[in-house]
A and B are shown apart, each in its own frame.
Chain A
């Protein structure tokens, strides 16, 4: 065996197994979902079958052909998405929740990331680890913790409502509201914002701030004219890492959102598990994927632009 063939063999021996596994269990299912958006729902949920088995002969044949394809392929599912305002409204609402979550994460993370980046080197790893650690505990446990805190009998509700009661305000509900959804979303996504911000702020040259100070810039000016523009790539990276998973989240609104707090993920789940309308569920999934791709593209574009402006 020549050297080049043996190299090619080892290349495919190494790359083949994971490639094959992910093709079968990731690429093909994803492709199936994309195609399902153009098909009709079946009589009992799922999809209208493309293959039929003849009862007499037991032969399985492809039902679709050049003449009847419009009975099997349709754009109606997409039309429905754009015609009924509820769906667009829910997308807008989910964008608002995810956007608000991103903004709050940024406000909470910035001082912390700055502090970690400026603390003595030997502490930095520990301080970063302390941010990541809660992230590794079970997702449901982290949501459950807030169900305890925000519950009607919890101390939080009692204290806030006791305070409001002094002014004659009716007691408020916290659990099962959009407020709870955004709060928990911020809680579960915070590390995704702190890490890229820290990675960026750590690299800043402190001499720039000293130079700005020597030139008479106030603390406020030093931040907005030097630190902030330099940190924009980190901000956009963090924003993408928070916004994308937050937009498609299912479990958080399901557990703490009540009826007012549902998001795209819950609608998609309803379509698949409750209405069993796979084609429309697939349309919603495609729309979610498109939203995610657009946001990711936008953030990486802005991040690159930010870097250029800063230099």
Chain B
């Protein structure tokens, strides 16, 4: 590679990385700004974190989000792991379509069809409908991670276990399951992150009165923004970063599988 050309390329790349990270950095920096406006830097303060931790509504929303994330990721991991196993082992026509389409279509389509479904069936809108919807859109992500883990697995290990007299079930629990467990955990972490982050689908199926962190942040962005939003955003980024790092350690392919 010519050094002149490579310098020019590196400059381009640095600009793009700057474009990706600078906005997020600004959010974090302004969370420590001693001013109600996200405009000029006035001075350092941790005031907004104090405001955040005494904001009952925000804390309730955070608790709701964590609970919904926990419950929906457990169910999504169960269904998603089975779907990944099935897509790897059997050639069903319908399942891959049902698993992969929710990932591919614009979110608003799934959000509105679920809204119609819940309203028509008189399903009470609230935390249950949110959880049900989150499970539905997370299954595909878990399934993809689990399937890619299975594809990377050495099939002869299972055959060896079978030759040594293990039943199919034993071979699964003793050989396959431990090997794909990192993928399952990575999928679970992804489902949890997706649930905590989801705004569009939650917004449409939440009904009146239910609140999650993204809904709470949205209403503040719409009505009155204070740097409290920056504070909660910074903490949320920290949490997501930690979860994603763990997921990446467990299943290096997991992050890319979602794209």
Interface residues of A (CB under 8 A from B): 10-11, 14-15, 17-19, 21-23, 25-30, 32-33, 36, 46-47, 108-109, 111-112, 114-116, 118, 125, 128-134, 136-149, 151, 153-154, 187, 190-192, 195-196, 219, 241, 244-245, 247-251, 255, 265, 268-269, 272-273, 278, 281-282, 285, 288-289, 292, 296
From the candidates B39, B79, B104, B204, name the one contacting A21 in the complex (CB within 8 A). B79
| Chief secondary structure at chain A's binding surface | helix
Contact A139 B24 (CB under 8 A): no
Interface residues of B in 3-30 (CB under 8 A from A): 5-6, 9-10, 12-13, 16-17, 19-21, 23-24, 26-27, 30
Per-residue CB contact flags for chain B residues 62-83 toward chain A (1 = under 8 Å, else 0) read: 0000000000000000111011
Is B223 an interface residue, CB under 8 A from the partner?
A: no
Q: What are the 5 A-B residue pairs with the smallest beta carbon separation, nearest first?
A: A248-B106, A145-B23, A153-B39, A29-B117, A29-B113
Is B214 an interface residue, CB under 8 A from the partner?
A: yes
Residue of B nearest to A132 (CB): B255
Residue of B nearest to A284 (CB): B112
Given A15-B95, A141-B24, A144-B27, is A248 in contact with B107 using a C-beta cutoff of 8 Å? yes
Residue of B nearest to A19 (CB): B95
- Interface centre among A138, A247, A268, by most chain B C-beta atoms within 10 angstroms, is A138
Contact A115 B117 (CB under 8 A): no
State in angstroms the CA–CA spacing of A132 and B214 once bound together.
Answer: 21
Interface range on chain B (Cβ under 8 Å from partner):
35 or more
Interface residues of B (CB under 8 A from A): 1, 5-6, 9-10, 12-13, 16-17, 19-21, 23-24, 26-27, 30, 37-40, 78-80, 82-83, 85-86, 89-90, 92, 94-95, 98-99, 101-102, 104-110, 112-117, 119-120, 132-133, 135-136, 139, 143, 168, 193, 196-197, 199-200, 204, 214, 217-218, 221-222, 225, 229, 233, 236-237, 240-241, 244, 248, 252, 255-256, 259
Given A22-B136, A144-B233, A248-B107, is A29 in contact with B114 using a C-beta cutoff of 8 Å? yes
A-B contact pairs, 10 of them (CB 8 A): A19-B86, A22-B79, A33-B113, A128-B256, A134-B21, A140-B221, A148-B38, A154-B38, A191-B259, A255-B222
Given A190-B16, A245-B106, is A15 in contact with B92 using a C-beta cutoff of 8 Å? yes
State in angstroms the CA–CA spacing of A115 and B1 once bound together.
Answer: 10
Output the least CB separation between A112 and chain B (Å): 5
State in angstroms the CA–CA spacing of A106 and B225 once bound together.
Answer: 33
Contacts of B6 on A, CB cut-off 8 Å?
A: 115
Contact B106 A288 (CB under 8 A): yes
Contact B240 A248 (CB under 8 A): no
Contact B214 A138 (CB under 8 A): yes
Output the least CB separation between A48 and chain B (Å): 12
State in angstroms the CA–CA spacing of A3 and B39 once bound together.
Answer: 71
Given A19-B95, A25-B114, A292-B106, is A136 in contact with B259 using a C-beta cutoff of 8 Å? no
Residue of A nearest to B106 (CB): A248
Contact B139 A21 (CB under 8 A): yes
Contacts of B9 on A, CB cut-off 8 Å?
A: 111, 114-115
Given A25-B133, A138-B197, is A247 in contact with B106 using a C-beta cutoff of 8 Å? yes
Contacts of B204 on A, CB cut-off 8 Å?
A: 269, 272-273
State in angstroms the CA–CA spacing of A242 and B219 once bound together.
Answer: 27
Contact A148 B26 (CB under 8 A): yes
Contacts of B82 on A, CB cut-off 8 Å?
A: 14-15, 17-18
Output the least CB separation between A58 and chain B (Å): 17
Contact B136 A26 (CB under 8 A): yes
Output the least CB separation between B128 and chain A (Å): 12
Contact B109 A248 (CB under 8 A): yes
Contact A249 B106 (CB under 8 A): yes
Contact B116 A29 (CB under 8 A): yes
Contact B116 A33 (CB under 8 A): yes
Contact A195 B256 (CB under 8 A): yes
Contact B221 A136 (CB under 8 A): no
Output the least CB separation between A203 and chain B (Å): 15
Contacts of A14 on B, CB cut-off 8 Å?
A: 82, 85-86, 89-90
From the candidates B38, B112, B117, B229, name the one contacting A285 in the complex (CB within 8 A). B112
Output the least CB separation between A50 and chain B (Å): 10
Output the least CB separation between B243 and chain A (Å): 8
Contact B95 A147 (CB under 8 A): no
Contact A136 B244 (CB under 8 A): yes
Contact B106 A265 (CB under 8 A): yes
From the candidates A21, A137, A190, A251, name the one contacting B136 in the complex (CB within 8 A). A21
Contacts of A289 on B, CB cut-off 8 Å?
A: 105, 109
Contact B233 A26 (CB under 8 A): no
From the candidates A17, A190, A219, name the one contacting B79 in the complex (CB within 8 A). A17
